[in-house]
Each structure stands twice: as C-alpha cells, then as structure tokens.
Structure 1
Amino acid sequence: MTAEDDRRGEVEPKQDYRSLPPVVRLDETVASVESDVPPDPAAGRNVDQHRALRDD
C-alpha cells in the first residue's frame, strides 16, 4: 500500500479548524452557574480513629 492509497479513503473535514471562531460578546456568555453544595470530605469516615492510627 502506498501513501496515495491511504489518502483516498480519508474523509474531508466539514469545518476549517485552522482559524479561531468568531468573537463571542461578553453579554452572550453565561454569567453564573448554580452549583450543588460540595460533599463533606469526612463523610462516612471516623476522623478520630483515622487520626489515632496514623503512622506519620
């Protein structure tokens, strides 16, 4: 198989990715996103037992 044979099966890209997209105005962007409360890092863990067993 030659390089020319490999090129025949390629699919041409539908968009040109060599340039940047058009500029988006600031008022068209999302100002904020509602988020959930972060989970408790010590949830389901016995902190006192962990502290007692540490070998640090």
Structure 2
Amino acid sequence: MRTAEATGTIELPEGITKARQGGLITVQATLRRPVAMGGGTHFTIRDNGKAMGFGLGLTAR
C-alpha cells in the first residue's frame, strides 16, 4: 500500500494529554473502516495535509 486516507481516533496513554516534538509514546488507533496494514508497516498521521506524527504499526485487530 502506498497511500490511503483513513479516518479514526487515537487514544493517548493514561496521564498523557499531548506528546512533545521528538517524543516517543505508544497509542491505540481505531479506524472507522478496515485498512490492509500488517505489523511493521510505517505510517504518517496528517491533519489538513500537514504531518503531525509518524509511527510503526505493531499489531492489528
């Protein structure tokens, strides 16, 4: 997969309200629709075309 538009929600860990630039946190993302993405897939989180974060998919349910 090269590019996909997927809408969803991201849950931050308990006690975390935001992540600092360059920080490393583990989040849980829930997408509205299934997306073909296996563990180990890199992704970018964008808002209005601006990169807000990057990640590595670890598990899919």
Please indicate the TM-score interval, normalised by the length of the shorter structure: under 0.3
- Computing the radius of gyration over CA atoms, which structure comes out larger, 1 or 2? 1
TM-score between both structures, scaled by the size of structure 1 = 0.16
Q: With CA pairs under 8 Å and 6+ residues apart, which has the higher RCO, 1 or 2?
A: 2
In proportion to residue count, which structure has more helix?
A: 1
TM-score (norm: length of structure 2): 0.15
